[in-house]
Amino acid sequence: MNDDNFSVQDSFRVIQSMIDKAKEDFADNAFFSLLWGWLVFFAALGQYILREIIHYPHHYLVWLLMIPGGIISIIYGYKFGRRTKVKTYMNEAMSFFGIACGVSFSILSLVFSYSNAWHFAFPVYLALYGLCSFVSGAILRLQLLRWAAVICWAIAIISIYVGYDVQLLLMAASAVTAFIVPGYVMRAKKRKQLA
Partner 1 sequence: MFKDLDPILHSQLRLAVVSLLIGVKEAEFTFLKEKTNSTAGNLSVQIQKLKDAGYIDVVKQFKNNYPQTICKITPQGISAFEEYVKNLQAYLGQSK
Q: Which residues lie near partner 1 (CB under 8 A)?
A: 1-3, 6, 8, 10-12, 14-15, 17-19, 21-23, 25, 85-89, 92
Nearest approach, Cβ of residue 9 and partner 1 (Å): 8
Which residue type occupies 183? G
Cα gap 97→169, rounded to integer Å = 27
Closer Cβ to partner 1, 6 or 120, answer by number: 6
Nearest approach, Cβ of residue 33 and partner 1 (Å): 22
Closer Cβ to partner 1, 12 or 56, answer by number: 12
CA atoms within 13 A on the CB side of 124: 14
Cα gap 96→27, rounded to integer Å = 13
Closer Cβ to partner 1, 87 or 191, answer by number: 87
Nearest approach, Cβ of residue 189 and partner 1 (Å): 17
Nearest approach, Cβ of residue 150 and partner 1 (Å): 30
102 in Cβ contact with 66 (< 8 Å): no
Is residue 96 exposed (0-12), middle (13-18) or buried (19+ Cβ within 10 Å)? Answer: exposed
Closer Cβ to partner 1, 139 or 172, answer by number: 139
186 in Cβ contact with 31 (< 8 Å): no
Cα gap 40→90, rounded to integer Å = 25
Closer Cβ to partner 1, 4 or 116, answer by number: 4
Nearest approach, Cβ of residue 90 and partner 1 (Å): 9
SS (H, E, C) 119-168: HHHHHHHHHHHHHHHHHHHHHHCCHHHHHHHHHHHHHHHHHHCCCHHHHH
Nearest approach, Cβ of residue 87 and partner 1 (Å): 4
Closer Cβ to partner 1, 17 or 113, answer by number: 17
